[in-house]
Amino acid sequence: MNAIYLDNAATTKIDTEVIAIMQSSMEENFGNPSSIHQFGRKAKSAVETARKNIAKHFNVSASEIIFTAGGTEADNLILHNAVLNLGVTRIITSKIEHHAVLHTCEFLQKNHNVTLEFVKVDSDGSSIISHLKTLLKSSKEKTLVSLMMINNEIGNLLPIDEIANLCKENKALFHSDTVQTIGHYHLDLQKTPIDFIVASAHKFHGPKGVGFAFFKKGFGILPMFHGGGQEKGARSSTENVHAILGMDKALAIAVSNLEKDKNYIESLKVYFISELKKLSENIQFNGLSSDLDKSSYTILNVRFPVKNEMLLFSLDLAGIAVSGGSACQSGSNKGSHVLSEILFDGEADKTSIRFSFSKFTTKEEIDNTIGKLKEQL
């Protein structure tokens, strides 16, 4: 059996067209974008064209896009900037955010005396809107709300428009970790008033090590890196030209094929759910991951009726790549902080696996995975 890759929420296979663009750039755009000679100007022009292209997908201006090394850096840049530059003294988030947000918020709380408050989540992992409203009205401190649009482990979709408007009504800044969103859902930032979003190219068939942060116009940016003053002073470091062009191409492909890919991947998810239910009526789905209207079509988090600590290992030996939580925690025996937050002890002890799909996933791979799971249960 050929290897089966079902861990696309961790990273995706690079599209061949993206590889071609990057190879061409490596051959032709070897100049430093900060150099004033023709080789540097050519590289700089390519970077700025990519910036304009990316901005158009979100209906924003190119000056609002800052290139980074990925989503984690972008989250850090936004959160640090909010506190150290924009006067934020209180952050409202949830305990099921990505650690790029959670750990940064904890750092800011400890080192900059930021008030950190957590909006409650229900047993499905959904933020309780009424509690968020209460928190927003409970203080006059300058507040930033940070809630991810799609949870990377359970796939829950945040009611993004409702949250954005609620923040606007209460004069709170709104940051959303949109790493699992970009390239999979349309996001018009003129219609949805989010102040800060982030992206990582490797989540939508682009290269690793490149992403961007969106800062709504009017917010100054205090850099975390100092040196060359690149990215209009917001992020010193020579731009990763080839990766930026690869990200531009990957996003263009994703956006142009979004509905077709969504329909295809969603059909695989529906089929997988139906086949899993045939395996055992006691199989359950964590969060809202089995609800097609309230979760990402790319993620399904499955809770098996047994505790089988070797299941992930057995699947890996069979050539099937999946995740027992976020890939950022793989190698850790701490388990999933998301599942620990939303499941009772007895249920949290059961084996849960995150399966995540892409346009390259096939029905045959789903069938082979079901067959292997049948042997293990």
- Residues with active-site annotation: 328
Q: Cα–Cα distances in Å, from 64 out to 54, 60, 236?
A: 10, 7, 16
| Nearest CA-CA partner of 377 in 324, 290, 302 | 302
DSSP state of 301: E
C-beta separation of 357 from 268 below 8 A: yes
- For residues 176 and 82, what is the distance between their CA atoms, to the nearest angstrom? 13
C-beta separation of 156 from 150 below 8 A: yes
Structure tokens at 206: 């682009």
Please name the residues in contact with 119: beta carbons below 8 A apart, sequence gap of 6 or more: 92, 93, 94, 127, 128, 131, 132, 135, 147
C-beta separation of 158 from 176 below 8 A: yes
Phi, psi of 175 (to 5 degrees): -115, 135
In single-letter form, the type of residue at position 182 comes to I
- Maximum C-alpha span of the chain: 67
C-beta separation of 100 from 329 below 8 A: no
C-beta separation of 296 from 315 below 8 A: no
Distance of CA 371 to the CA centre of its chain: 30
Q: Which residues of 147-282 form beta strands (DSSP E)?
A: 173-176, 196-200, 211-215
- For residues 105 and 146, what is the distance between their CA atoms, to the nearest angstrom? 9
Angle at 363 between CA 200 and CA 10, to 5 degrees: 20
| Nearest CA-CA partner of 153 in 307, 314, 271, 330 | 330
